[in-house]
Structure 1
């Protein structure tokens, strides 16, 4: 008994398939053999689907065979292939998926271990001699001639049938699914005068209509130009709902918004100052999770207006007009803080050597005092590290956490708590270094 026959008997008993086990094994074996690149091509297909480790374990007899889920198998070979093979075996597609997951590892192991075996040649069976008396010599010659013609015809028919059967078995049952890398959704809005230029790509017609209808409802169909392409390989934009809900507030002559995946590029430089500030505040409030550049604010305006030779006190006054935000309950800066950190670092690098700047973090009163003190120290350290990464000398900076002990607003409402969560800057007097070191040592205990 061959290894394949033993495998079929085991499948029939273990999976209770009975006589149908041979049909299922034959279909799966034909599918394995049908890949144009053989086992290497099949291995590559599973690798692209993220199942390379499972497939390799099936090919190594010394390694435990890793199981395969039905959903993973469908992802690797495609729904069409599974439905086609299920139809050929007579099983429902759902049942066949489970059976295939059980049998495929063993069949791959057999195919990897076995050498190519040539199919046995078909030989026609001897025809029975007609009963009766011995034919006359003339009839004998005629019968021999007739049989001599029938044998080639039977051979040709048998070869044609076997060739058709072989091609049927080895014909690909599935087209290898194309696993494409997903791209980021993009939407660029540039308003100039009463016209709006729209460009981008979105994953579905529903998303395209959502964006386009919101824009044309606000600006009018005759003033919106450009277009949005459909790309099914594009990830769904998690900012689209927020954008369309607030599109009426995000408009103004000269405004540029460029959403690209998890990033947002803003250009408000052509807008009037009041509108520029209003749009930036709105974007900070509702799109803080995006890595945002180009936002504007009083702090950035003050830093941009600093003279080239500004003293430390003037620089600190401008720095204290800036705003840095953190994710709730953490020391991670939000994406809209990037430009502010860049501007703060640029201003600090202009200060003379030997200047010491205290970077202090404050929290609101929610939570325990010791937890808020630790969080504020971590946030101050995060800002100092970000500034050092942008070229500010480490010797210039001191990180200090104050917790919630120095509020500047009422902690009983959201607006007051938001004001209390802040980063402040101060010039460090020479005799303050010792006290700062002692405070840091106490926190590290």
Structure 2
């Protein structure tokens, strides 16, 4: 397929993988179709459990795909899984991590063209079609051979083959291709990578001092509890069996063994522990969740990413017990703050005539991005629409910089990427509203330009922001900026 060839070629060039990009993609498809790992749904659930539910939704539904960082990929799949895929493809693990983070959104998007997760038979059919693009793999050879065999048979029968054997032959060929892919993925001898000429520095910051070949990055622990009519599903990753046993024992005692499923809770020794005091605070919270029947509660690293359906007393206790953690906007108070700020920004934009006045008004607004997401929420769009009306009237040569900023939580590189992605999203939205692209630049600063110390939740909230600057040409001047021009998380 042309599309498959295109992303293989781009990944090969971008990450210095050459022809091995095809092997890496084949290994990724092998994981996606592995029934023992839960198949496609199980693959997507790993990302949801790592707090990337919004990103997964963007890959499946129509629209832009939210990118993920190397760290987010490892948090979802686990360091050992990524290393295994890299070894099977004969690729350095650091380069494989970056390439897989790049490939995953594109592959999921391609496998869900109608905006829904396909059933198993439809998935196998689509993957079988993709395999024809892998000329250098066993799976690709099998797919090509199957196609050639069918075409010869069809020609020999004058086209009658399509009507007489299509119903049983095509499924068999699809199954054959998938069986070979699974066999190749599970049994291929890992290729030594010590002497390969893979460029592991492509797209990596110049100031990175870590030896990517020697040190595997740790992933964040996560625990997610989904309640549905008094039945509870617990998923996530924890660093050791002792932590898992604590969780299993406590939830079993509270809800009963028949009502709780722990199949999705796994142990990864490379996972970093959840935030300080998590178990003590969770133990105190648990009694107030006894009557909780439907909703979701999720912990990732030192953040709470979901709190739907919880009783008010539990919400109040979370705000008290986890006051130093990053909380969802729905309970942190940021939602109310954003609403008030955006109302004030709209009022100022209604009176704005010059670019300086527009920038000043924009710096009052708050874009409450969801955790690790760059999708602009609906409540911020009226502000951008009003700003675009004024910006379209500005003279040639007007320039505005859209700067993305985060707090200091998390990985430096991931914060830098996230801030750039969010700044790009705001620029794209303004261009879509008719603002000239040449007027706008987007730059991610990560955590490098705080407006307050990163020592309290309130100060971190101030540092998570989109900040606008204006000037002429390349000479940019910061207008008066209120420290409340924030984004929600990280």
TM (norm. structure 2) is 0.31
TM (norm. structure 1) is 0.33
Q: Which has more radius of gyration? A: 1
